[in-house]
Amino acid sequence: MTALSPAEFIWMDGRLVPWDDAQVHVLTQSLHYGWAVYEGIRAHETAAGQAVFRLRDHIARLRRSARVYLMDIPYTDDELIAATTELIGAGGPGPRYVRPLVYLGYGSMGVALDLSAVRVTIAAWAWEEQPTRNWRLMTSSWRRNHQDTIPPLAKATGAYLNSSLAKIAAVRAGYDDALLLTASGHISESSAANVFLVSSGVLHTPPVEQGILPGITRSTVLELADVAGIPTVERPLSHAEAYTADEIFLTGTAIGIVPVESVDDRRTTTEGCGPVTEALRDAYREAVGGKSPAAADWLTEV
């Protein structure tokens, strides 16, 4: 759980409104049917001021998610990018978490949703927090949404019923996060992050076709591994491979790169942050912090 730290404004349907006035009607369609798509983006402090990491890629994924759910976003990518930087700029200096949401507003009620009622909002608030210790994972008894049920490649609010069921159960059992398996029993992802295993110096992660969110941090890590000369393989991973890996880590915009020390109480060989995880975490921090000239294209200055 992360407490909200209110900012001055929220961008709603084309204009900045005061934080407390950013309200919706209780009969908002998305509230009843979970039909909305969203993004989680971060702006980091760099030597040149605030910069948003891979903003264009996040907006592109938002639009792809919206397409799955038949919602036409009535703004161009450039307009959404300008809205995001305007909003962050209006909030003053410091790191930010940014949450665009595309949803169906008030207007009708029923499963045959009124798809013309598309609304767009973007919120940004101060958020520096990141896990500082290694995580212990518990395999969830809940399976990841099946691709033919609720496709995990779209970041839809309703899909997070599955993530929250798994995360809450794991936290109640004393773990940091859940490891979710696909319907076929392969490793998919955690409640809100992608999973990587390191075995004999090779980086392994499940392919997107297996039913995971195509994480932007995941794709960043694959590129950084390539630059660092770390071999990578995208392939289906059996559950038990999580018990024999040398290193395991999670990737996500909110958490960055978090080393995993155990899965179901089986400790990784390195029992925490191994050398491959550490090298990639350092490279990632440099990229988001604007300290890597090669990663400059990934940053949008505010």
Give the C-alpha separation, 51 to 287, whole Å: 11
Is residue 215 at the binding interface for ligand PMP, with CB under 6 A as the rule? yes
**How many CB atoms are located within 10 Å of the residue 79 CB?**
14
Report d(CA 199, CA 272) in Å as an integer.
14
Pairwise CA distance, residues 15 & 10, whole Å = 8
Sign of CA dihedral 229, 234, 239, 240: negative
Select 30 or 205, whichever has its Cβ closest to ligand PMP: 205
Q: What is the DSSP-derived secondary structure letter of residue 23?
A: -
Query: How near is the Cβ of 23 to ligand PMP at its closest, in Å?
Result: 25
Tell me the closest approach of the beta carbon of residue 260 to ligand PMP, in angstroms. 14
- Number of C-beta neighbours around residue 20 at 10 A: 8
9 vs 58, beta carbon nearer ligand PMP: 58
Q: Which of 248, 241, 259, 252 shows the shortest CA–CA distance to 191?
A: 252
Nearer to ligand PMP, 9 or 142 (CB): 142
| Contacting range for ligand PMP; rule: CB under 6 A; set: 22-30, 81-89, 98-106, 191-199 | 191-199
Residue of 217, 262, 268, 300 interacting with ligand PMP (CB under 6 A) = 217
Number of residues that bind ligand PMP (CB under 6 A): 14
For the bound state, the minimum distance from the C-beta of residue 259 to ligand PMP, rounded and expressed in Å, comes to 16
What is the C-alpha to C-alpha distance for residues 45 and 35, in angstroms, rounded to an integer? Answer: 33
Nearest Cα residue to 196 out of 276, 264, 283, 298: 276
- Contact status: 44 vs ligand PMP (CB under 6 A): no
Question: Which residue of 102, 216, 273, 295 would you call a contact of ligand PMP, by CB under 6 A?
Answer: 216
Active-site annotation holder among 63, 119, 155, 186: 155
Considering the rule CB under 6 A, would residue 193 count as an interface residue with ligand PMP? yes
Please report whether residue 194 would count as binding ligand PMP according to CB under 6 A: yes
**Chain residues 115-174 in contact with ligand PMP, contact rule CB under 6 A:** 163
Task: Tell which positions 55-94 bind ligand PMP, by CB under 6 A.
Answer: none
Q: Can residue 178 be called a binding residue for ligand PMP (CB under 6 A)? A: no
Cα distances (angstroms) measured from residue 55 to each of 73, 77, 78, 109, 215: 16, 10, 10, 34, 13
Q: Is 155 a catalytic residue?
A: yes
Residue 289 vs residues 45, 87, 198, 270: alpha-carbon distances, Å: 6, 20, 25, 27
Smallest separation (angstroms) from ligand PMP to the CB of 298 = 13
Contacts of 82 (CB under 8 A, 6+ apart): none
- Stretch touching ligand PMP by CB under 6 A, among 79-87, 116-124, 212-220, 232-240: 212-220
- 252 or 290, CB closer to ligand PMP? 252
Residues with a known catalytic role: 155
Interface residues with ligand PMP (CB under 6 A)? 40, 163, 189, 192-194, 213, 215-218, 251-253
